[in-house]
Structure 1
Amino acid sequence: MDLSAYQGIIFDMDGTLVDSMPTHIKAWQQTCHDFGLPFECDWFYSMGGSPTINTAIALLKKYNIDADPQLLVMSKLRHFDDINHKGDIIPATFSILKQQKAINKRIAVGTGCYRYHALEILTTLGILPLLDVVVTANDVQRHKPLPDTFLEAAHAAGMDCYRVRDGIIGEFRAFKQ
């Protein structure tokens, strides 16, 4: 893919730049155990990239449970905090990031992860110094799968924003500098 026409690149974090899903899955598994909820690994993988609150709401809805999703969120975040190694760099994507940064492209990360954890992961893996912008679940009202995270990252980086899906480019909306 020729990226020379673009002002910068916005990467998703979990599952694109960093393989952190096993850590999120482990924290959710422990949370389900705490609350006596069934744990379906494939279902949690399908929720990958969603902010924790959205996953908690979906989990309660899936099992028709009337409970405060914040209780699940607090448990999941506590378990996630307790895990020391939160993920590994995905080499192919990181290589693209480094190539684009080397030619002075603006580099952003948009993630459904909360800011505290995103910064911890990006710092631990040595990615944060390469980034111009980081947009997290704390920075938007409407979370993924809605495009607001990536639109905000594009805006903060002073870029136009396009969606690339299966090699096909579609414009969300353009931000003018």
Structure 2
Amino acid sequence: MNPILEQFDALIFDMDGTLIDSMPAHMDAWEQTAQHHGFPYDREWHHSLGGVPTRKTAEMIGQRYEIELDAAAVAETKRQKWEAMGAGPVLIDPTYAVFNQFHGQKKIAVGTGAERAHAEEMLEEVGILSRLDALVTASDVVNGKPSGDTFLKAANTVGVAPERCVVFEDTEIGRQAAEAAGMQCIMVVDGQICWPK
């Protein structure tokens, strides 16, 4: 395991696309939602928004395409489409290996843009909810990513100073949130950890 982690007292993982592989199903659900509500769908752009709460994403779609959208209705459609897929979450092996290596040695938290009920369901399904020292979701902060609030709340909850926390993230917005929180960020790209040189 990379020795860089020895300098930190807490590990904070993003959930979707970082610790749990559910991004493809989320992208498919957004595509179906776009068809349902009649707005354009750009998979690459949507993927770049990983970690942004669903309702906020709906608002950003309206702004991007200059169309009137009911953000709450769009978010609810997306949730229903995703749940209808029945695509169970699976753990991403490299980050889960880090989780397991340091579980019990360092504080471990998840900081996600998902709503609390959804995050708890996913983490329970893969068997790690009860192993976390903290879970911070979109339901727990006023400002989601790219604000640093999600990660700062996680650090505060586990009682570790921000500079002693390291974040694992898979999106640029998540990286910006980690930096805004004053934390080092290690990127996860296509399920692989990009260790700093």
Instruction: Give the structure-2-normalised TM-score.
Output: 0.79
**DSSP-derived class of the 2:7 partner:** coil
Q: Which runs of 5+ in 2 are unaligned?
A: 169-177, 184-197
Moved more, 47-56 or 132-141: 47-56
The number of equivalent residue pairs is 171
Unaligned runs of 5+ in 1: none
Counting aligned pairs with the same residue, the percent is 39
Inter-CA distance 171–145: structure 2 relative to 1 (3 Å threshold): closer
Q: Does 1:97 align with 2:106?
A: no
Within a 5 Å distance, the mapping from 1:14-163 to structure 2 comes to 14-102=16-104, 104-162=105-163
- Measured after TM superposition, the shift of residue 112 of structure 1 is 0.2
CA distance in 2, matches of 1:22, 1:13: 14
Contact 2:52 2:144 in 1 (8 A): yes
Q: Structure 2 vs 1, CA of residues 135 and 106 (structure 1 numbering), >3 Å: closer, same or farther?
A: same
Q: Which runs of 4+ in 1 moved over 4 A?
A: none
CA offsets per residue over residues 97-140 of structure 1, 9 Å max, x none? Answer: 110104x2111000001111111111111121221110000000
Kept in 2: contact 1:9–1:108 (CA 8 A): yes
Deviates more, 1:138-147 or 1:38-47: 38-47
Whether contact under 8 Å (2:59, 2:69) holds in the other structure is: no
User: RMSD over aligned Cα, in angstroms?
Assistant: 2.2
Give the drift of 1:5. Answer: 2.9
Letter in 1 for 2:157: A
Distance 1:68 1:36 in 2: 12
Q: Secondary structure at the match of 1:13?
A: coil
Cα distance between partner residues in 1 of 2:79 and 2:138: 14
Tell me, yes or no, if the aligned pair for 2:33 and 2:81 is still in contact at 8 Å. Answer: yes
Higher relative contact order (CA 8 A, sep 6+): 2
